[in-house]
Amino acid sequence: MAYLYAVADAAPKRIATPAQLVALGEAMRVRRTCPVCGRDVGYCLPRRWGTCLDCHDTPSWRSAA
């Protein structure tokens, strides 16, 4: 039996830098913001709609935008 790799040569765990975390947070905020009503709805918008659930279920909001 033998080890398949040397522990000392293994790559360290990837740790996100603060800048990466900020960029990720901004990207997630954009994904949560509905372009129709402009709200941060608190969840990622369904990609097939591109709007929040309220806008999708309320056609009048869509036509007004």
- Contact between 52 and Zn ion per CB under 5 A: yes
- The phi and psi torsions of 6 (rounded to 5 degrees) equal -85, 125
Q: Which of 32, 33, 37, 58 binds Zn ion (CB under 5 A)?
A: 37
45 lies in the binding site for Zn ion (CB under 5 A): no
Token pair recorded at residue 4: 């398949």
Total residues at the site for Zn ion (CB under 5 A)?
Answer: 5
DSSP string, 5-53: S-GGGSPPPP---HHHHHHHHHHHHHHHB-TTT--B-SSPPPTTT-S-H
Q: Which stretch binds Zn ion (CB under 5 A): 2-10, 12-20, 28-36, 42-50?
A: 28-36
The footprint of Zn ion (CB under 5 A) covers: 34, 36-37, 52, 55
